A and B are shown apart, each in its own frame.
Chain A
Amino acid sequence: MLNILRLLSFFLLLATNSAIAQESLLNKEIVLDKTEGTVEEILNEISQKGGFIFSYGNQIMLRKQIIIKNKRQSVKAHLNEIFLSEEMVYVVKKNKILLSYRGSKKKEQNENVIISGYIKDADTGEVLIGATVWIKELTSGTATNSYGFYSLTVPKGLYVIHCSFIGYVTISLEQSLLSNHTHSIELTVSTNQLEGVTVTSDQNDDNISSADIGTHDLRISTIQQIPALAGEVDLLRAIQLLPGVKNSGEASTNFSVRGGNLDQNLILLDEAPVYNPSHLLGIFSVFNSDAIKGMQLYKGMIPAEYGGRLSSILDIRMKDGDKKKYNVTGGIGTISSRLTFEGPIIKERSSFIVSGRYTYSDVITKSIKVFETGKARLYFYDFNAKVNHTFNQRNTLFISGYAGQDVSRLGALGSIIWRNTTATARWNHVFRDNLFSNFTFAYSNYNYALKVGQSNPLQWKSSIEDFALKADFNFFMNPSNAINFGFTSTHHGINPGKSEYDSIAALQTRVPITNSLEHAIYISNEQKVNDKLLLSYGLRYSIFQNIGGNKVYTYNDEHQLTDSVYNSSGEIYNTMGGAEPRLAIRYLLSGTSSVKASYTRTFQYLQLLSNSSLGLSSFDIWFPSGSNLKPQKADQVSLGYFKNFKDNMFEFSVEGYYKWLYNQVDFADHARLLFNPYLEGELRTGKGYAYGIEFLLKKNTGILTGWAGYTYSRTKKEIPEINSGKAYNANYDQPHSISLVAQLKLSKRWIISGNWIYSTGRPLTLPVESYDYKDYSVPVYPAERNKLRLPNYHRLDVAVTWKNKEKQGRKFRGEWVLSVYNVYARKNPLLIVISTPVGDSKNPDRLVAQQLTLLGFIPSITYNFKL
């Protein structure tokens, strides 16, 4: 745009030019002090001594080094010498000399060229996601995509390209761009940050300049500094510290985003969905921080390439593996230990990473004699692996996988075992310098088996298995338009539940297996309308198809079974779908502030039926939409104001949102989820809504970093058969929440970090009276569901990190992390129940109200190392 304005000005001035004036300025004799330097420096000296100014477009190569032979000569002669081989036109207008290329040369110079490539970590060769490439002269830039690739279309010329990423030293490269150019850039970690002194390196102002709203980018280095429960660095607990994200209970890594249900968050690990992200019943997440590069949370404007969930997308990327040298990293903690090995297979071209984690809680469990047989076991393990190979600048292949298992055996009581497996193969292909593509094959399997009893146990098994194909294209059309398009197709195979029991035939039940296909095509464009206005708009169209080979039950309006139909194998007997428009607008108020707005529609075709309102992973059943269950749908609007201070050292944002939710699922009173082939008859659907306002103040640099967040939000459901059809508080309705996260780098070796969180107590339904029936005291609940609340939740965690002294030439690095969860031992009740007392053998039949507090004061120590 600026170029066009300059060109227009040039022609305007040309038309009114005076030949006399031209000659007078051009003939003026100038004696230069400096005869060697850049074009810009020489022009500046001529300009100063001549008392006039030069005006020129960005096609002039200002950084070109030149030598002037004649110090004393006319302006015109100087210019001819400067632009020796160039066909230039000098036009004088009043006190200005306009410089421009002549004829075809000018046209050529105005043609666009593309600079593209990857931005990587200089130390490891890992690509950096979201790094910024910026050309100041053009006020134009871009950011790397999920594979570290960037492409920028610019007019031919000589530019200074600035490349930056938070935590890395910004570099500026002078680049003559006369033809398409591939340039991979390596950034070095800012050593200042490690040394614990004030860092003033350039920071990314993406939060202001991008159209992203309701988005958080958390890097693993940030997450690793947050105090962790039992020393286990946990991605999912970290995002619960962000505004708009709430935990689903003290002991759960599951989370609710902007009032949505727990199943309304799509968690992707290298693009493969993870259906149960929990270890140890939900207390830890399955993600091993040593194998993770970073993650992006979308809770407002969800880009068109993502879909399938109403409330958020959590896109987690595994590390690729160090391409330059071999590393071993690990940690020995209170609950588990981990070990990671990574390195090049072919230096700079291919690498691998393998990472494993194993808990030794089992060792302790075995020694506990509380169980009948003394054979109790309780443990988990997980394993991540990834290899990649860069064939050439245009082709890269990635293969990654995750496998994890939880085993909880309670001797004679039975056991719960669950497994997550994911595998992803991706091929990045650059068709053209401005057309990047990624083709993905993803596999995901989550299954669990519940056994009750030891000899002849009753078993309940459930699973979900996905096979997905995906193609994504990033077309960097021109400086003002970046188009993304693609498609995805997924096969879901769901076994909602099958029971096995030898003794009682009636307990050998099976909820019909379902197979389904979920497809989507999408296209979106990020359009820079002018320097202030940026639009991001797109459309996703999703289709869901139920495939036959199973029995489908039909129910009447009273949810009673009326009939069943067997659909032949492979037959698509039900198809549904819809358009999902996405729109985001950013308007720059100044260089440091902007306002943004967005609208997002999403569909969700899979729902998690959970017997637990607390988010503890146990007997969850994934269930597809179908002829008895419409897909969930949401419309969300957001509005936000973003402001940066002190050279992006501080970021401030306030975002408001309103979300309309349709076809929300809840259960009939006392619904039976297990051993029930007529599961759909237990479901009730209705609408819901959520709204809120989120404040976030973040400090990115300096010895003290962190953020403070406050959220006010409400979320309600309205389902005809529940709560007499009146709106009631959803399980995750917690109006006020505050999170404070801080990290203080005391020195090169000492770091103190802490976080404090507060939230309104979760809603609950408690009996208000009771009555006698036979020998039972039957509770009576109030007419309104979820009207009461648990006490407000708050907790302080701190951690101290002490790094070993670094020695010249010694590769080994180690650090001790002492962390304390719930420093002031706040008793945050997880639930309140009225039942017979736990552990009171004297009066076992007495009825009492009890509150369960799960996590009190928990100190832990971890040793981390790298060699």
Chain B
Amino acid sequence: MKQVTILAFSFSMLIGLSSCVEEINIEEYVGEPSGTLVVEGLITNEKKAHYVKLTRTTNVIPKESADPVTGAIVSVSDGDTIFLLTENEIGSGIYLTDSIVQGEVGKTYTLSITMDGKTYEAIDIMEAPNEFDENDILSIYMRPDQSGGYVNQLFTVAYGAHKPSMISVEIVNPRPEDKYTEIWYYTFPGADVDNILPTPTESLVFVSGTIFQQTKYSLSNEHYLFLRAVLLETKYVGGVFGSVRANVPTNVGNGGLGFFGACSVKERLKKMM
């Protein structure tokens, strides 16, 4: 997307240096936010405390963090068992299960939220785990550096995966100067015009001995479409060639927004030699 936008801009420079990009006050076009419930939640087949974060919608260009939703009754059901979630810290809007809860592949999980007299539900199926493969970014983009270390170019999405996945990389023993301790990225099957080829956002140098713990999350088709739409509407939005914008899909009913996902995970460690 950026390439083509630059192309358009550069041409306009040619024909008279007349184009301009100006910041405008978007509030002149749109009204006040509605304060709709937003869900960000995930249950996996790991034995741990799984979370659901509840917030409300805010201004188009947020002036501050979204308001958390506190005091809600939150539970997750797998059809046999109901797991109650409690607010981790009152007022935080983050609700956690017990630390011994573990999801199962193939089960359907239903999130239920009751607040202000309304009940919201979100359903997702936990797909089988995706094995690591040759398309995973660490395999492709980690290159030896002249200094003896390794350069890892950070991408948000890598295309060409057999199945869509969400991957987190935890840097186990980072040096004090390392910028990140955790990186998230996605592997999707197809390319999008808005981001034809993933372009690196930045490059990080890791020294020999650094350990990366990769966790690969399977995604249901609905979860993949949700994440893809989030990226199209955020990271890859804009430009004269962008497709018609649309709302990001949701699996939260009763007018809610966001997504509650159920993912199975695969983990591996990679050590920089």
Contact = CB atoms under 8 A, between A and B. Distances in A.
Interface string B40-55: 1000000000000001
A812 B86 CA distance: 90
B100 interface: no
Interface string A492-506: 000000010001111
Contact of B18 (A673, A779, A855): A855
B238 interface: yes
B14 A365 contact: yes
Contacts of A851: 21-22, 24
A378 B11 CA distance: 8
Given A676-B190, A849-B61, A850-B23, A458 B11 contact: no
Contacts of B23: 837, 848-850
Contacts of B12: 251, 854-855
Given A611-B193, A776-B235, A769 B16 contact: no
A847 B230 CA distance: 15
Contacts of B59: 769-770
A669 B246 contact: yes
A588 interface: no
Given A619-B193, A780-B257, A768 B238 contact: no
B106 to A, nearest CB: 21
Closest 8 pairs (CB-CB, A-B)? A504-B160, A856-B18, A669-B246, A849-B26, A835-B238, A769-B33, A858-B16, A833-B238
A67 B235 CA distance: 95
B58 interface: yes
A449 interface: no
A8 interface: no
A416 B65 CA distance: 41
A364 B16 CA distance: 12
B197 A452 contact: yes
A118 to B, nearest CB: 42
A413 interface: yes
A399 interface: no
Nearest to B192: A672
Contact of B246 (A376, A452, A781): A781
A21 interface: no
A378 B10 CA distance: 9
A114 interface: no
A162 interface: no
13 contacts: A281-B7, A413-B6, A507-B160, A612-B243, A614-B240, A619-B193, A768-B30, A771-B55, A773-B38, A774-B230, A777-B61, A832-B29, A848-B61
Given A506-B160, A670-B246, A856 B19 contact: yes
A834 B237 contact: yes
Given A768-B31, A833-B242, A781 B247 contact: yes
Contacts of B192: 672, 674
Given A611-B242, A670-B232, 9 more contacts: A378-B7, A413-B6, A506-B161, A765-B246, A770-B33, A779-B60, A780-B247, A830-B240, A849-B61
Interface string B217-252: 000000001001111111101111111111111000
B159 A504 contact: yes
Contacts of A857: 16, 18
B16 A859 contact: yes
Interface of B: 3-4, 6-8, 10-16, 18-26, 29-31, 33-34, 36, 38, 40, 55-62, 65-66, 135, 140, 159-162, 184, 189-193, 196-197, 225, 228-235, 237-249, 257-259
A376 B10 contact: yes
Most buried by A among B14, B231, B242: B14
Contacts of B24: 832, 849-851
B243 A780 contact: no
Nearest to B228: A670
Interface in A604-630: 611-614, 616, 618-619
B190 A675 contact: yes
B11 A361 contact: yes
A561 to B, nearest CB: 12
Contacts of A281: 7-8, 11
A853 interface: yes
Most buried by A among B12, B59, B189: B12
B18 A507 contact: no
A220 B18 CA distance: 29
Nearest to B15: A230
Contact of B62 (A361, A822, A847): A847
A852 B3 contact: no
Contacts of B21: 838-839, 850-853
Contacts of A381: none
A867 interface: no
B103 to A, nearest CB: 20
B184 A667 contact: no
Given A618-B241, A778-B230, A780-B257, A788 B29 contact: yes
A283 B15 CA distance: 10
Interface string A650-673: 000000000000000001011111
B7 to A, nearest CB: 5
Contacts of A2: none
Nearest to B27: A849
The contact size tier of chain A is: 35 or more
A826 B228 CA distance: 37
A286 to B, nearest CB: 16
A591 interface: no
Contacts of B237: 779, 833-835
Contacts of B22: 827, 850-851, 853
A853 B33 contact: no
A771 B61 CA distance: 10
Most buried by A among B6, B160, B240: B240
B219 to A, nearest CB: 14
B196 to A, nearest CB: 5
Nearest to B234: A776
B57 A769 contact: yes
A767 interface: yes
A849 B25 contact: yes
A313 B4 CA distance: 31
A283 B13 CA distance: 13
B62 A770 contact: yes
Interface in A51-108: none
Contacts of A837: 23
Contacts of B246: 669-670, 765, 781, 785
B163 to A, nearest CB: 11
A370 interface: yes
B19 A410 contact: no
B191 A675 contact: yes
Given A509-B190, A847-B62, A852 B229 contact: no
A766 interface: yes
B93 to A, nearest CB: 10
A611 B241 contact: yes
Contacts of A251: 8, 12, 240
A774 to B, nearest CB: 7
B61 A852 contact: no
Interface in A257-273: none
Contacts of A835: 237-238
Given A612-B241, A853-B22, A370 B15 contact: no
Contacts of B234: 776-779
A772 interface: yes
A831 interface: yes
A364 B225 CA distance: 43
